Chains A and B, each alone.
Chain A
Amino acid sequence: DIVMTQTPLSSPVTLGQPASISCRSSQSLVHRDGNTHLTWLQQRPGQPPRLLIYKVSNRFSGVPDRFSGSGAGTDFTLKISRVEAEDVGIYFCMQATQFPWTFGQGTKVEIK
């Protein structure tokens, strides 16, 4: 199985400041169809995971443009340009390129 490793595991951030989360996979996430199925999920306290970013850099419908994804191959990054109070939660990267789906450990974003 592909191992997904996130850093940091905790990210205290000042409101209005940027935040960045890294995700590294143990193998390339480029699918034979040419797509890279790297997804970022947000999980607010007590809520199910919510899709933020799919295929590395595509924002899902309704996701604010302060969220952006980048990367290629095995190294990926989620950036929040200016953290707002509603961004508090746990962020997971996951891959769906290769069966089975695997997830990063999660990064807790909290306000300083």
Chain B
Amino acid sequence: QVQLVQSGAEVTKPGASVKVSCKASGYTFTGYYVNWVRQAPGQGLEWVGRINPDSGGTDYAQKFQGGVTMTRDTSISTAYMELGSLRSDDTAVYYCAILVEGRQYWGQGTLVTVSS
């Protein structure tokens, strides 16, 4: 079955960077975009961007352009999202998610806490 397993929680300081991973299994990794979605504490869901695992091409929401980089390693079916120049308001749970024939599959989420 489709599974997306994310890396563990991160605590980091303002101005630092963090890299979150999303390991895929149960489907053809290169066949479907991997999307990243952010949820700040007590808030709704916000699309961050996506990567085409086949070509490596990326699309980012305008709000996150310049602060996020998405990559992938097809040899281990893993997508990555690196967040740079972090601020306290980047504290959130970050989810990876894919859409396969209309059905969405979500990772378990990675809490990134930015605090001095």
A contact set with B: CB distance below 8 Å:
35, 37, 39, 41, 48-51, 54-55, 58, 60, 92, 94, 96, 99-106
Are B104 and A96 interface neighbours, CB within 8 A? Answer: yes
Q: Which of B44, B50, B104, B105 contacts A106 (CB 8 A)?
A: B44
Using Cβ atoms and an 8 Å threshold, which residues of chain B touch A35? 102
Report the Cα distance A19→B106, complex, angstroms.
25
Evaluate contact between B102 and A101: CB separation under 8 angstroms.
no
The answer for the CA separation of A100 and B58 in the assembled complex, in Å, is 12
Q: A48-B95, A100-B59, A101-B37 are in contact. Are A54 and B47 (CB under 8 A)?
A: no
Task: Give the chain A neighbours of B99 by CB distance below 8 A.
Answer: 37, 96
Structural contact, B102 and A50, CB atoms closer than 8 A: no
Interface residues of B in 35-56 (CB under 8 A from A): 35, 37, 44-47, 50
Partner-A contacts on B (CB < 8 A) = 35, 37, 44-47, 50, 59, 61, 93, 95, 99, 102-109
In the bound complex, how far is the Cα of B95 from the Cα of A94, in angstroms? 15
Report the bound CA distance from A104 to B44 in whole Å: 8
Closest A residue to B61 by CB, please name it.
A100
Q: Are B103 and A101 in contact, with the CB atoms below 8 A? A: no
Chain A residue nearest in CB terms to B104: A51
| Given known A100-B47, A102-B47, contact A48–B102 (CB-CB < 8 A) | no
B contact residues around A96 at 8 Å (CB): 99, 104
Residue of A nearest to B46 (CB): A103
Q: Which of A41, A51, A99, A100 has the most CB of B within 10 A?
A: A100
Contacts of B35 in A (CB 8 A): 101
In the bound complex, residues from chain B placing their C-beta under 8 Å from that of A51 are: 103-106
